[in-house]
């Protein structure tokens, strides 16, 4: 298998190079102080005094032994009911949540589309654009270059000079628009989108959907978490169905969605 | 597994990853690579620290004026309690004691607040840690820089107080720069250590104020160590004097206050000790923090 180059040319439409490999991945959350129903000080004390392997800690096994191989050019949808481990799986692929056991191998740095956590409500929109850009790993020059584009895309300044006001003064729609605009300003290798990103009014939704399509074209592999079967059908050619942290089905979109719709009783 | 092309059939995931050069996601980089990544994020570190600083007082009417007013009020309260009520000055003249107290309070606060924000650097920013990629050491370092900027505001007050009590700027004031740099290194190292500890045990944030207050009273913030321990054995005095907080505090006083005798107040080899604490804590703290890099962000 030393000569790969001619082989790769033959299968251009289905590039065999994997970008993400998950191998028997398990993710466990540890929650402090949730073992007993009682949250009182005495029950916390008795938990500490009662010796055990891990006192007062409850474990939530969110992802149980998921394995799959994602390849370049694939757009993969993640479906499953609430709490089935979709977002957790995405974070683990991105290397943001340490795995309990098993491994995720990736080509390049997968990134989640989202920057909310780095922004500060007490700062002006202007400074948040810069801070958010830097937090996502853009250089100062890149941020400067894209600044105007981000502000224009968000449409924050359409109704006056709002970008120089603190973000806490924004309406929730305006803040969501600015957050999306910042997050979508960067291009990614492996892109992961966690549902309901297209927020705001109808006009902005259209604009952000178009931007997601654009990002998808640039990225090598795309993961999309959504409860909207229509947007999964529009976007993805392969679907992973998670239920209770286990991979229940993995296959072409129509096949899996068909089963999923039967399961949910639609 | 769906439709894998034939040449890769039967390969284990690990072998497949090796064949195409995939790396383990979220693995800890080597120390050299880690430092490089951190350097690449220097603009983020600085922007984040400045943003935190500005956000602090953005809802107050007086705004950034509080940066100076807060340390001034702090100094006034300590003066009232220790200078006027408790007479902790012990033979120091008022002209020496007030700048002595103000310098002590500000310099110790620098270390104290670096540690406090360090404890919460990871555990208080889990959202950020779980959403974006960056070397996690950026957080405690950024918080220490925020405290440095805060101290620079306090320095204005410190200078005014020093001048007000007859200590005029001289060459010795230039020593403030190396002292602050060494203290910054020490603080950052300490913040990195408690950040890792606080990420594993968030309860430390509750415990820390008590430890810090004990440390403050033992370091001679409000009294002169040599004056207070006059009748005690020499080693006890030396032990208190070489503790890092006391070293940086006394060096700063030595630089700022004319009447502050170096002979009885500074331990021998004080600059060596100051450098030693800074290097040992910074390097040790950095390596200690890096060792758990891949585990931050677990709930």
pLDDT interval class at B272 (50, 70, 90): very high
Is the pLDDT higher at B225 or at A77?
A: A77
Nearest-by-Cβ selection for B132 from A16, A118, A140: A118
Predicted structure pTM score: 0.83
Are B134 and A19 in contact (CB < 8 Å)? no
Are B131 and A93 in contact (CB < 8 Å)? no
Chain-wide mean pLDDT for chain B? 86
- DSSP code per residue over chain B: -----GGGTT--HHHHHHHTT-EETTPPPPHHHHHHHHHHTHHHHHHHHHHHHHHHTTTSSSGGGHHHHHHHHHHHHHIIIIIIIS-TTTT--HHHHHHHHHHHHHHHHHHHHHHHHHHHHHHTTHHHHHH--S-TTHHHHHHHHHHHHHHHHHHHHHHHHHHHTT----GGGGGHHHHHHHHHHHHHHHHHHHHHHHHH-TTHHHHHHHHHHHHHHHTTSSS-HHHHTTTS-HHHHHHHHTSHHHHHHHHHHHHH-TT--HHHHS-TTHHHHHHHHHHHHHHHHHHHHHTTGGGTT--
* CA of A164 vs chain B CAs: smallest distance (Å): 13
Are A117 and B51 in contact (CB < 8 Å)? no
pLDDT the model gives residue A161: 85
CA A19 from centroid of its chain's CA atoms? 16
pLDDT the model gives residue B7: 62
Tell whether A265 lies on the interface with B, counting CB pairs under 8 A: no
Tell whether B59 lies on the interface with A, counting CB pairs under 8 A: yes
Tell whether B22 lies on the interface with A, counting CB pairs under 8 A: yes
Asked if residue B204 lies in contact with residue B194, where contact means CB atoms within 8 angstroms, the answer is yes
- The predicted-structure confidence for B273-285, as pLDDT tens digits, reads as follows 999 999 999 999 9
Asked if residue A107 lies in contact with residue A151, where contact means CB atoms within 8 angstroms, the answer is no
Three-state DSSP state, A69: strand
pLDDT the model gives residue B115: 95
Q: Which residues lie across from A57 on neighbouring strands?
A: A32
* CA of A233 vs chain B CAs: smallest distance (Å): 18
Q: Compute the distance between CA of residue B292 and CA of residue B286 in angstroms, rounded to an integer.
A: 11
User: Could you tell me the two tokens for A51?
Assistant: 């010796």
From chain A, the residues in CB contact with B202 under 8 A are 32
| Edge-to-edge strands, sheet with A101-106 | A57-71, A18-32, A101-106, B23-24
Q: Angle at CA A152, nearest 5°, toward A148 and A153? A: 115
Nearest-by-Cβ selection for A18 from B7, B22, B48: B22
Are A98 and B24 in contact (CB < 8 Å)? no
Question: In sequence order, which residues have a C-beta less than 8 Å from that of residue B157 and are 6 or more positions away?
Answer: B68, B71, B72, B75, B102, B106
Report strand pairing: B23-24 vs A101-106: antiparallel
Q: Is the pLDDT of residue B6 over 70?
A: no
How crowded is the C-beta side of B224, counted as CA atoms within 13 Å?
A: 24
pLDDT the model gives residue B117: 94
Q: Which of A115, A119, A185 is nearest to A152 (CA)?
A: A185
Tell whether B6 lies on the interface with A, counting CB pairs under 8 A: no
* CA of A251 vs chain B CAs: smallest distance (Å): 6
Are B1 and A135 in contact (CB < 8 Å)? no
Q: How many CB atoms lie within 10 A of CB A122?
A: 17
pLDDT the model gives residue A9: 38
pLDDT the model gives residue B12: 81
Tell whether B268 lies on the interface with A, counting CB pairs under 8 A: no
pLDDT the model gives residue B1: 44
* CA of B135 vs chain A CAs: smallest distance (Å): 11
* CA of A207 vs chain B CAs: smallest distance (Å): 24
- The predicted-structure confidence for A223-259, as pLDDT tens digits, reads as follows 888 877 877 887 788 999 999 888 999 999 889 988 8
Three-state DSSP state, A123: coil
User: Could you tell me the two tokens for B218?
Assistant: 């033992």
Q: Which of residues 202-231 of B touch A (CB under 8 A)?
A: 202
Are B17 and A120 in contact (CB < 8 Å)? no
Q: Is the pLDDT of residue B4 over 70?
A: no
Q: Angle at CA A66, nearest 5°, toward A64 and A72? A: 155
Helices B94-123/B204-218 angle, 10° precision: 160
Q: Which of residues 9-28 of A touch B (CB under 8 A)?
A: 11, 14, 16-24
Helices then strands, counting H and E runs in chain A, come out as 9, 9
Which of the listed ranges A173-182, B19-28, B77-86, B111-120 does the model predict with the highest average pLDDT? B111-120
Q: How many CB atoms lie within 10 A of CB A176?
A: 20
User: Could you tell me the two tokens for B70?
Assistant: 């807060």
When pLDDT is averaged across residues A131-153 and rounded to a whole number, the result is: 90
Nearest-by-Cβ selection for A97 from B12, B127, B130: B130
pLDDT the model gives residue B181: 96
Q: Which of A127, A90, A128 is nearest to A111 (CA)?
A: A90
Chain-wide mean pLDDT for chain A? 80
């Amino acid at each position: 298998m030393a000569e790969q180059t001619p082989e790769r040319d033959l299968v251009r439409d289905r590039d065999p190079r994997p970008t993400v490999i998950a191998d028997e991945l398990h993710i466990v959350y540890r929650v402090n102080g949730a073992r007993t129903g009682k949250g009182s000080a005495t029950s916390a004390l008795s938990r500490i005094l009662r010796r055990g392997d891990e006192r007062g800690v409850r474990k939530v096994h969110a992802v149980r032994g998921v394995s799959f191989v994602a390849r370049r050019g694939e757009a993969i949808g993640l479906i499953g009911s609430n709490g089935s481990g979709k977002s957790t799986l995405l974070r683990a692929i991105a290397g943001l949540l340490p795995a309990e056991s098993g491994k995720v191998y990736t080509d390049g740095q997968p990134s989640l589309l989202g920057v909310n956590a780095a922004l500060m409500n007490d700062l002006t929109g202007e400074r948040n654009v810069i801070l958010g850009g830097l937090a996502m790993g853009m250089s100062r020059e890149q941020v400067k270059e894209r600044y105007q584009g981000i502000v224009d895309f968000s449409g924050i300044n359409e109704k006056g000079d709002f970008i120089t006001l603190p973000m806490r003064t924004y309406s929730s729609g305006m803040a969501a628009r600015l957050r999306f605009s910042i997050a979508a300003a960067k291009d990614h290798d492996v892109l992961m989108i966690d549902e309901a990103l297209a927020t705001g009014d109808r006009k902005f939704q259209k604009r952000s959907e178009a931007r997601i399509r654009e990002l998808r074209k640039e990225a090598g592999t795309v993961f999309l978490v959504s409860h909207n079967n229509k947007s999964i059908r529009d976007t993805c050619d392969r679907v992973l169905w998670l239920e209770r942290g286990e991979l229940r089905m993995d296959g072409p979109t129509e096949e899996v969605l068909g089963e999923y719709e039967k399961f949910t009783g639609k | 597994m769906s439709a894998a092309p034939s040449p890769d059939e039967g390969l284990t995931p690990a072998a497949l990853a090796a064949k195409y050069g995939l790396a383990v996601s979220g693995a800890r980089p080597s120390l050299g690579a880690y430092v490089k990544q951190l350097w690449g994020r220097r603009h983020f570190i600085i922007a984040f620290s400045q943003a935190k600083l500005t956000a602090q007082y953005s809802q107050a009417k007086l705004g950034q004026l509080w940066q100076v007013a807060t340390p001034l009020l702090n100094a006034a309260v300590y003066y009232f309690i220790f200078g006027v009520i408790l007479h902790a000055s012990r033979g120091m003249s008022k002209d020496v004691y007030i700048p002595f107290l103000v310098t002590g309070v500000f310099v110790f606060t620098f270390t104290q607040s670096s540690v406090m924000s360090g404890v919460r650097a990871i555990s208080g920013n889990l959202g950020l840690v779980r959403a974006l990629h960056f070397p996690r050491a950026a957080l405690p370092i950024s918080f220490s820089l925020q405290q440095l900027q805060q101290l620079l505001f306090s320095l204005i007050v410190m200078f005014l107080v020093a001048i007000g009590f007859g200590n005029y700027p001289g060459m010795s004031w230039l020593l403030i720069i190396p002292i602050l740099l060494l203290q910054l290194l020490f603080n950052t190292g300490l913040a990195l250590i408690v950040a890792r500890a606080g990420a594993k045990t968030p309860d430390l944030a509750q415990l820390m104020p008590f430890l810090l207050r004990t440390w403050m009273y033992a370091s001679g913030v409000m009294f002169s160590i040599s004056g207070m321990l006059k009748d005690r054995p020499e080693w006890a005095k030396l032990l208190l004097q070489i503790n890092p907080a006391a070293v940086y505090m006394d060096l700063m006083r030595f630089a700022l206050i004319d009447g502050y005798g170096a002979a009885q107040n500074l331990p021998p080899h004080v600059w060596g000790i100051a450098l030693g604490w800074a290097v040992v804590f910074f390097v040790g703290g950095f390596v200690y923090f890096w060792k758990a890099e891949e585990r931050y962000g677990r709930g």
